[in-house]
Amino acid sequence: MAEVKKYVEHHGEHRHDIEHDIDGVVIKVDSLAEQDELGFTARAPRWAIAYKYPPTVVRTRLLDIGVQVGRTGRITPRAAVEPVLVAGSTVSFATLHNGYEVVRKGLLLGDMVFLRKAGDVIPEILGPVVELRDGSEREFQMPTKCPECGSKLAPEKEDDKDLRCLNTRSCPAQLRGRLEHLGSRSILDIEGLGEKAARALLEDKIISDEGDLFSLTAEILQQSDFFVKGANRELAENAKLLLAQLEIAKTKPLWRFICALSMRHIGPPTAQALTREFTSLERIAAAPAEKLAQIEGIGQTIAESITQWFAEDWHAEIIEKWKRAGCVLEQELVESGPQPLAGLTIVVTGTMVDFTRDGASEEITSRGGKASGSVSKNTDFVVVGPGAGSKETKAIELGRPILDEAGFKILLSDGPAAALAHLGLA
């Protein structure tokens, strides 16, 4: 073990002398026979273990702090720093989450700061180098008005740390964010509805909000320079793609439309639970908060968020416009044959080769199972891939069965007994 420790320490000291970036070393048993004897767990070989080095910390200058407006109106401070190389790439910006974080970390504009990449991925400012201050530094003040629409900024609730733009209906940043979210791969998967297309649709007044999206026609899109080509303003390929993708999206599963509405706290697992319980947007809208809160995984906070969303008249207008445009906003209850995962709660975390996260969830729910977003003592299986993180750790602590992608495929095709046999637990 002394030799292993020495090796790890040596490469930690010289990791930046190597021509490519590394974030750790892998220690393996140096015997094929012993490797065969040790075998594998559900996720990794028992004969190898990874040691991760702490993230590299660098110094740079905090030049300015701007703010960004998210699709739910949340205001996020964003630090601009002197470009600095860290963990293999040049960093010029870092998020600061909210105004409270700026104060908590004691940051002043003009500070020299410590910066790292959290998990060697996300730029993060740790704090100021106080001893290098020269008196020229200045305090940052969170704005009181939205930088996009000029509306008042305020916390949603008294104890919230986040400021929000209250102009939910027509703030340009929120509208763009909702359109991009709606079109993203994990929601309605509308190819051609990215940031540039969303901006063109709104700035050229092609649509007023997301309610108009599914009523778009070639004639309407030709009013925007972004969607035409040539002197004759012929329909460009990006417009043809968008129209075709919108037609496909109209028949996507109901849970995806629920996510597309950008209700606070509503992600795929919650949307799927609502779909199973109510089967239509109309029934969800009519449900009281008390009934919504009884659905597993929802609770009072999410239930109130849902009822508050449907209480807005302009939200009802969006749904009505989608209906008139031919969107299918209900899901028939049909018998789909054998349900080998009925009654099982399964958590999927990390990445897989043959499944997206949402695709894996759909495979589970189509077989009668519940795709959950959190691990508990009631979880029947946890499916892990690279980057699983804290959910895998909690599964180990609670003694929940852990499957890799191969085991997940066995669970889907042959049921829980076969999956447990794959783990040697049957």
What confidence score (pLDDT) does residue 129 get? 97
**% of the chain surpassing 70 pLDDT:** 95
Please tell me whether residue 79 adopts helix, strand or coil conformation.
strand
Buried b (16+ CB within 10 A) or exposed e, 301-315: ebbebbbebbeeeeb
CATH superfamily of 172-249: 5' to 3' exonuclease, C-terminal subdomain (1.10.150.20)
CATH code, residues 345-423? 3.40.50.10190
With 60 as the cut, is the pLDDT of residue 211 above it? Answer: yes
What confidence score (pLDDT) does residue 16 get? 64
Which range is most confident: 140-144, 275-279, 374-378?
A: 140-144
Q: Give the whole-angstrom CA distance, residue 310 versus residue 333.
A: 24
pLDDT, tens only, 108-135: 999 999 999 886 688 999 999 999 999 9
CATH topology assigned to domain 58-139: OB fold (Dihydrolipoamide Acetyltransferase, E2P) (2.40.50)
On average, the pLDDT of the chain sits at: 91
* 172-249 and 254-325, same CATH topology: yes
Residue with the bigger pLDDT between 47 and 304: it is 304
- Domain range list for the chain: 1-52, 58-139, 172-249, 254-325, 345-423
Residue with the bigger pLDDT between 373 and 321: it is 321
With 80 as the cut, is the pLDDT of residue 392 above it? Answer: yes
Query: Could you give the maximum distance between any two Cα atoms of the chain, in Å?
Result: 76
CATH code, residues 1-52? 3.30.1490.70
Average pLDDT, integer, range 281-292: 96
Give first-to-last CA distance, the chain, whole Å.
36
H or E segment and range at residue 370: strand 370-372
Residue type, 79: A
Task: Reply yes or no on domain 254-325 having CATH 3.40.718.10.
Answer: no
Tokens linked to 309? 């969303």
In this structure, what is the dihedral angle of CA atoms 143, 148, 150, 153, given to the nearest 10 degrees?
A: -50
Q: What is the pTM of this model?
A: 0.74
pLDDT, tens only, 399-425: 999 999 999 999 999 999 999 998 988
